[in-house]
Amino acid sequence: MAGCSLEDPVNPLTGVSSVSTPVEGASVGTTGGATTPTSPTAPTGSTGGGAPPPPTAPPSADGATIVDPLTSGTSVGEVSGGQFTGAGWQVTQRGNFIRYRVAPMVSGFVEWENLNLTPFNPQRDLFTIMGMWDPRAGDYRENPFRVHIRKLDTQGHNPPYVRMRFISGGDQHDVGWDFLDWDPNHAYHWRLEWGPGANGNEARVFLDGRPIIRTGYGPAYRPDQHWIELGIEERAETIVGLVFRNVRIGRR
């Protein structure tokens, strides 16, 4: 399999101009050569439909105000579709998502784990793992406070295959990391963080504790209303079979 390992990444930190802006919502074909994600443990229950905003807990030592294991058959977020298993919440359709409505955070972080990430996606389309945006600022596709992390493969896509789009106050940055050697049995730990850094505002993505993507940005990330989603409702690009668990959201 072409690509690189976590121990020997290719260009693990890419600059602002490293990725040309992809066409939003582009579809490049039908299923071909895809590996169907494996299923973890048998489902133990599911919830769906609308749910109230998650309760705000006292901040933990690392600033987390939302802690959502997703391994006990429930979520503090708004769950739409999918199924709960002993391993976590599993995507069963592309439009599945979990939404967390949080207080706006100029400086914050989101952490989660994924099982069933495979070298090839189920289809050749674009696939989004998580995102955040401001629903009061307009449609998602044109939103001035839009962030997402995507996982692509070689089925009709060029590198880098892990991409972040970070838009703050309309200031857009597209950055990525070239990686394909996913192990579906490995629990990958993701962390996205944003806010003031040593040289201005900065967003970073970590995978298993290792920095893989970084970009500076101009205006502060200051949405009027702040939604964080596993999968994106308006994109319907969630990877079928993917498992999410151990979500933590908070301020930095």
SS3 190: strand
Rounded CA-CA distance 233/141 in Å is: 12
SS3 86: coil
Residues 162-200: tens digit of each pLDDT:
999 999 999 999 999 999 999 999 999 999 999 999 999
Write down the pLDDT at residue 153.
Answer: 87
Write down the pLDDT at residue 22.
Answer: 32
Look up residue 199 and give its DSSP letter. T
Write down the pLDDT at residue 44.
Answer: 33
C-beta of residue 202 within 8 angstroms of C-beta of residue 218: no
Question: 193 is written with which tokens?
Answer: 């963080």
Write down the pLDDT at residue 58.
Answer: 54
Count of beta carbons in the 10 Å neighbourhood of residue 105:
22
pTM of this structure: 0.79
Which residues in the chain come in under a pLDDT of 50? Answer: 1-5, 7-56
Structural domain spans, the chain: 62-241
Write down the pLDDT at residue 96.
Answer: 96
Write down the pLDDT at residue 121.
Answer: 84
Write down the pLDDT at residue 77.
Answer: 98
Write down the pLDDT at residue 123.
Answer: 78
Q: Please give the single-letter amino acid code of residue 91.
A: V
Beta-strand (E) ranges in the chain?
Answer: 43-45, 64-68, 78-80, 83-85, 88-90, 97-102, 108-115, 128-133, 147-151, 162-168, 171-177, 188-197, 200-207, 210-216, 226-230, 243-251
Rounded CA-CA distance 168/158 in Å is: 25
Write down the pLDDT at residue 62.
Answer: 76
C-beta of residue 3 within 8 angstroms of C-beta of residue 178: yes
Look up residue 93 and give its DSSP letter. S
CATH assignment of 62-241, among 3.20.20.80, 3.30.70.20, 3.40.50.10800, 2.60.120.200: 2.60.120.200
Read off φ and ψ for residue 171, nearest 5 degrees: -85, 110
Rounded CA-CA distance 3/163 in Å is: 15
Question: 144 is written with which tokens?
Answer: 């001035």
Write down the pLDDT at residue 60.
Answer: 64
Rounded CA-CA distance 169/217 in Å is: 10
The torsion region of residue 87 among left (phi > 0), alpha (psi -120 to 50) and beta comes to alpha
